Chains A and B, each alone.
Chain A
Amino acid sequence: MKITYNWLKEFIDFNWTVKELSDKLTFSGIEVEAVEPLSGGDHLLDLEITPNRPDCLSLLGIARDIRALAGGKITQPDCTVAEKGQPIDQLAKLSIEDGAGCPRYLARVITGVKIAESPGWLKTKIEKIGLRSINNVADVTNLVMHELGHPLHAFDYDKLADHTIVVRRAKPNENFTTLDGVERKLTAENLVIADAKRPVALAGIMGGLESEISDHTKNVLLESAYFEPNLIRKGSRALGLKTEASYRFERGADPLILKKAADRAAKLIAELAGGQVAAGVLDVAKTEFPEYRRLTLRPEKASSLLGMDIPVQRTVEILNALELKAKISGEIIEVHIPSFRSDIEREVDLIEEVGRIFGYDNLPGDRIEPWAVPAVKRPKDIFIAGIAKIMTGLGFSEHYGLTLIDPGQLEALDLSPAFPSQPAVELVNPISSDQSALRTILLPGLLEAAGQNLNNGLDGVRLFEMGKIFRPQKTTPDEGLRLGALLCGRAAGQFWDAKPRAADFFDIKGALQFLLDSLGLAEAEFSAEKIPALHPGRSALVRVDKKILGCCGELDPSAADKLGLKERIYYLEIDLELLMELSGLKQSRYRELPKYPSIKRDLALDLPAQTECRRVAELIGLLAGGELESVSLFDLYQGKQIEQGRKSMAFSLVYRAADRTLTDAEVSGIHQKVVEGLKGKLQANIR
């Protein structure tokens, strides 16, 4: 809401500069968002009024807060009206059909007015706060709304059929043109002010074009009503029509200010537009409105909640200055809550009033209650931090992908059987189709980031993400935690004396093996498996203890093409919750260090090209028996030096016995057995 400094001063005497006023208001709950100098030394203040304070949508309301802060006297606007005209009940009729929507309606009639431009002082006031001056009647209603906070509406009395006001719901499909010239189709959800025939205003929102005050208007019917806030809010939202009036009514107007507001406006209209105010008012109330509600405040509760002691005398003073009439009664304070403070319903609401005016700057700032039990990190957080350390150590940087993704891309990115990408949970009201589903896998986000990095000219990408994925269930989706990691382009960590190398499958597999090894899961099993999103010949399913932990491999090159990715992409995704569970089960056990020396033998084999490394190693182990300590591949060759369809693999075998020193002859015997076995079982030749 906009007000001016000088106008506010007409309501309360205070000695603050504009700067002081802004600070005081801001630190007591009415935030001054902007101050703008105006001509004549005046200032425009833009106030943010929180939705619980409709009483502050007026100069009078703000003056009350200032009185609580600084003392001083409030000057009420003059509301004495001279009723010189004929009795109003001879001029107009009023009925309320929807008493829930309109609990009270009050009207005055002013006859014989002359519509003209407003006088200078009124125009200036209205225009200073950014409103357009319309005429001497409309401007008065706007003025009074800003003074007292209550929206009024002036009808051209002669345009009201039968001079009758009926407050009712609109009929289905009833048409109505609001004074902004827009024809609107109404529903039974809309509360309208009607005359004997048709709607003349959207109650609490906007008047009608036909009954608007015009230059020819001779007689005015002035509406001062109280509408049910929720009904106005719904109506305003359904029509997409927000006005100064609806803004106030939906926050809650003061049902007991109707007469005062009507009097003030009638008085000014009679003064500025001539005419006579009809005697009396039409006033129909469908509800009793008590003058005040009673609450009690325990100063001790206030002090406990706020953590500071506010003297009881000051508490009473603050409440009274806010017109929350307060009286000490033994240990408690009895408070009468007036009708304009519908936000104050409980003791705690009073505590806030006292606290904010007393000032939160007075709160001590050095209190921390000690806590008997020290807080510790959750195992999960420790685990996650540990995984992050391993992944960053492996050269991956952490990415935060969006949880909202395009479901259209999921079919091509299926990680079944590890992680089916479909179906996904879809939003009812997405902003756009490319953010309309909850991710089921982390792959899409990492691919997008990879693409961006390559577009930025980076020659290699290494990213990982740890985040939630969502699987549809009957009701609430199941949320899982995954680790995804992607690499592509130039292999990381290469030294300047080495030839640059492009990353390949074994970089991603190696990263995963290192991670698993670090968690005591070195025995994880990698098996070749068809995974739709991955390369048919370069993808692996990863199992630990027979459970599928995840997968790794090269992104299917045709999927990469579709995404416009120029590099071959290598990816892994694993179930972090399962990983945590499995790694928690692994307890390291000490094995005695060897007492006897080992003997190392190398074995170079010429094998059919499709022979899996794991199969050779397993067979060697089987053939060599208990004296074989380890077997490891140290060379692989396929090319010109070797017959087509075959490959050469060289293994290093370490033999050792736990209870004696092996002799050369013994080892040669075992080794020979291995060689013969491989020849027979794998069509292997010894090179």
Chain B
Amino acid sequence: MKDKLAIIGAEAEAKISGCRSLAELEALRVLYLGRKGELTELLKSVSSLPPEERPSFGAATNQLKVRIGQLLDARKAGLSSAERKSQHSQETVDITLPGRQPFAGHRHPLSQLLEEISDIFHGMGFTVAEGPDVDTAWNNFDALNTPESHPSRDPQDTFYLDKENSLLLRTHTSTVQIRTMLSQPPPVRIIAPGRCYRRDAIDASHMPVFHQCEGLYVDKKASLADFKGILNYFVHQLLGEKVKVRFRPHFFPFTEPSVEYDFSCLFCGGKGCRVCKQSGWLEISGAGMVDPNVFNNVGYDPEIYQGFAWGLGLERVAMLRYGINDIRLFYQGDMRFLEQF
């Protein structure tokens, strides 16, 4: 009987190792270990043995059962891994097909620019200040030392809401400077972003509605040199370390001394190109030391306080930065344009 066990064992080992599929293996499991399998049958015949041999035969049969079970499991693991591998190798996708992604919208370039500008000025201690688009002629002109006869007050240039020309659409966000100074004592460090309005017909470089982000810094020692330092830091952060700043003396009613400031050309690096008209420089905006009359108008003592204010056109900077040559694009909501930012 023990010989028979050995034969079954050897045979099972050979068959299991030679087995080529999970189905075949399952058949072998039934053949040897099933309820009617060879080993089960063999155990049933134990009664034909002399009683003293029975325990050792039973033990040997069970040992073989365990061993065949182990062989089957091992073979199954080997077989299924190979079979699954072959199956997986069939499951290919074209990974260059587009992924399932939500459709993403885009923030307006002027919003993106304003956020960047705000972040840079926040870092320098400036807070954002706002005011209404509709303001008084006093806040927009008188408080800013603009003479009664100044051409900017002309209804040719400024939108008015009343016949007396006392209520208007602000022509700059300097109104916010006035409102801020009227509402708080110095020191003041603000930037004032917002919509402005001028009576310009629409063309590639003019819109009746546009955006400014002006700035104001008032303290006891704030000087024109401080403005240069702040402007340098700002432009280096926003447009890169290589961009240079220069001042040209100018005249504005609300500042004295007044300057216009330029950036070195972003396109040619200052060598001269079509955009900068071969000058190497781009005119950006005006600035200067707040005129003492403005301080008097808001109740700041010009003998104690001084400071500077500057203008900045958002569209102008965005156009230079992104190489946009038509200001109308900012206001058309053309998705082919917006999706580029």
Contacts and interface: CB of A to CB of B under 8 A. Distances in A.
Interface of A: 26-29, 31, 50-53, 230, 233-234, 237, 304-308, 346, 348-349, 351-352, 355-356, 360-361, 363-371, 373-378, 381, 385, 388, 391-404, 425-431, 435, 438, 445-446, 448-450, 452-453, 456, 458, 461-464, 468, 470, 475-477, 479, 492-493, 495-496
Contact of A375 (B125, B207, B338): B125
Given A304-B306, A363-B247, A368 B102 contact: no
Given A367-B226, A403-B195, 19 more contacts: A304-B223, A305-B306, A346-B292, A348-B291, A352-B257, A355-B257, A356-B249, A366-B232, A368-B124, A375-B189, A392-B105, A392-B107, A395-B102, A399-B338, A403-B197, A427-B169, A428-B165, A431-B201, A468-B195
A172 B248 CA distance: 47
16 contacts: A52-B251, A304-B223, A352-B258, A365-B232, A368-B233, A377-B118, A377-B122, A378-B127, A393-B105, A398-B111, A400-B333, A401-B331, A404-B197, A429-B160, A452-B334, A479-B132
B163 A428 contact: yes
A374 B247 contact: no
Which of A356, A397, A404, A468 counts the most B-chain CB atoms under 10 A from its CB?
Answer: A397
Contacts of B38: none
Of all A-B residue pairs in the complex, the 4 with the closest CB atoms, nearest first, are: A307-B225, A449-B333, A371-B125, A307-B223
B81 interface: no
A567 B132 CA distance: 36
A233 B133 contact: no
Interface string B156-168: 0001111101010
B257 A356 contact: yes
A370 B105 CA distance: 39
Interface in B286-341: 289, 291-292, 306, 330-336, 338-339
Interface string B132-165: 1111100000000000110000110001111101
Given A395-B102, A398-B338, A429-B160, A375 B126 contact: yes
Contacts of A361: 246-247
A434 to B, nearest CB: 11
A456 B334 contact: yes
B128 A425 contact: no
A374 B233 CA distance: 17
B158 to A, nearest CB: 8
B122 A398 contact: no
A48 B321 CA distance: 28
Contacts of B259: 360
Interface stretch (B2-10, B62-70, B83-91, B93-101): B93-101
Contact of B118 (A360, A364, A381): A381
B115 A385 contact: yes
B207 to A, nearest CB: 8
A492 B334 contact: no
B232 to A, nearest CB: 5
A17 B92 CA distance: 75
Interface string B183-221: 000000100000101010100000111000000000101
Interface in B29-82: none
B243 interface: no
A427 B224 contact: no
B268 interface: no
The dominant DSSP class at the B interface is: mixed
A233 B149 CA distance: 8
Contact of B107 (A50, A378, A388): A388
A453 B105 contact: no
Contacts of A477: 134, 161
A181 to B, nearest CB: 26
A238 B331 CA distance: 36
Contacts, number: 245
B14 interface: no
Contacts of A26: 248
A427 B160 contact: yes
Contacts of B225: 306-308, 363-365, 367
B265 to A, nearest CB: 16
A377 B334 CA distance: 30
Contacts of A366: 229, 232
A365 B245 contact: yes
A435 B208 contact: yes
A621 B165 CA distance: 61
B91 to A, nearest CB: 16
A446 B338 CA distance: 14
A609 to B, nearest CB: 33
Contacts of A453: 333-335
Nearest to A453: B335
A187 to B, nearest CB: 18
B134 A452 contact: no
Contacts of B103: 395, 462, 492-493
A375 B134 contact: no
Nearest to A27: B248
Contact of B111 (A305, A349, A388): A388
B275 interface: no
A407 to B, nearest CB: 13
Interface string B108-134: 101100010010011111111000111
Nearest to B225: A307
A430 B202 CA distance: 13
B257 A306 contact: yes
Contacts of B219: 369
Contacts of B160: 427-429
A360 B249 contact: yes
B184 to A, nearest CB: 13
B155 A428 contact: yes
B15 interface: no
A28 B104 contact: no
A375 B121 contact: yes
B106 interface: yes
Contacts of B100: 495
Contacts of A352: 249, 256-258
A376 B336 CA distance: 34
